[in-house]
Structure 1
Amino acid sequence: MTGETTTDGRPRGSLTVRVIAMPADTNANGDIFGGWVLSRMDQAGGIASVERAKGRVVTIAIEAMTFIRPVKVGDVLEVYTDVEKVGRTSMKIHIEAWARRFMTHHHEKVTDANFTFVAIDEEGRPRPIPRDTVQA
């Protein structure tokens, strides 16, 4: 894992995306496709980074991910974001995906990673991230 959960075993960061895993999202083994989870994480990171950068951003890097547990049909995937570092034009956001299990509501971490986003202007060039923005 790239990051640590809180010391009390709860997710780190703010709940940013919450979605139910559906049968159409499964791989050949019947589990939810890892790319679907990754996509939800990228969406959550995009939401958090757009809010922080006050404008357009692009994903430029994802540090190694390890899938700890599978996501099953009916589970609610919850994605948490935590802005770790803000540079002049880029930011690192720690993103955790957790599954709230169908029927039992047991909450388990399924993966995490650090994503790097760059703020861009209308022409797609890097632009400075405002310094006076207060994180929510």
Structure 2
Amino acid sequence: MTVDRVNLPQKQPVLRVVPMPADLNQNGDVFGGWVMAQVDVAGAIPAMRRARGRVATVSVNSFQFKQAISVGDIVSLYAEIVHVGRTSITVNVEVYAERNYAEPVTVKVTEAQLTYVAIDANGEKRSVPLENT
């Protein structure tokens, strides 16, 4: 597998984590499920801010693993809202790993798109507030 070296986006990540040995699968790579959970958390952050309250994940529209993540990588997750509907918010999430501190390299490891729905205290759908109110 070739390593596509990239620069980190020129914006702040919504989440930054370092996987630990307990997050590894039998091959020594980080579990895909661990990555998916981090992506869901990262995507929910801008969705909650935009919804001004609770959201629930309703779909994973796309999810692509590009590179493996290893213990010790600094994993940065960037999330951006790409669509707001009446009750839903769609978010793109990009995941980068910074590794090899002797000769640092950054690689894009995952990209995904998720849709969240705004919910009330009872877990029922509610409208997403207008942006300027």
- Shorter-chain TM range is 0.7 to 0.9
The count of residues paired between Structure 1 and Structure 2 equals: 127
Residue number in structure 2 paired with 1:5: none
Could you list the runs of 5+ residues in structure 2 that have no partner in the other structure?
1-5
Aligned to 2:97: 99
CA distance in 1, matches of 2:85, 2:112: 18
SS of corresponding position for 2:83: strand
- Per-residue Cα deviation, 1:105-129 (whole angstroms, up to 9, x for no partner): 3111011111000000111111111
1:74–1:101 CA contact under 8 A, matched in 2: yes
Moved over 3 A (4+): 8-14
Distance 2:71 2:90 in 1: 30
- For normalisation by structure 2, the TM-score amounts to 0.88
Q: What one-letter code is carried by the residue in structure 1 that aligns with 2:112?
A: A
Q: Which structure 1 segments of 5+ residues have no match?
A: 1-7
Q: Which residue of 2 aligns with 1:111?
A: 110
Q: What percent of counterpart residues are identical?
A: 40
Q: Does 1:72 align with 2:66?
A: no
- Residue 87 of structure 1, aligned match among 74, 85, 88: 85
CA RMSD of superposed structures (Å): 1.9
Which residue of 2 is the match for residue 126 of structure 1?
A: 125
1:12/1:53 Cα in 2 relative to 1: closer, same or farther (>3 Å)? farther
Q: Indicate if the aligned counterparts of 2:62 and 2:114 stay in contact, CA closer than 8 A.
A: no
Match of 1:54 among 52, 55, 62: 52
Deviations 1:52-94 (A, max 9, x none): 1000000000023221100011001110001000011001000
Distance 1:118 1:14, change over 3 A: farther
**Matched-pair contact (CA < 8 Å) for 2:118–2:127:** yes
Relative distance call for 1:77 and 1:133 in structure 2 (3 A) is farther
> Do the aligned partners of residues 54 and 109 (structure 1) sit closer, same or farther apart at CA in structure 2, a change above 3 Å counting?
same
2:37 equivalent to 1:39: yes
Whole-angstrom distance in 2 between the partners of 1:32 and 1:126? 34
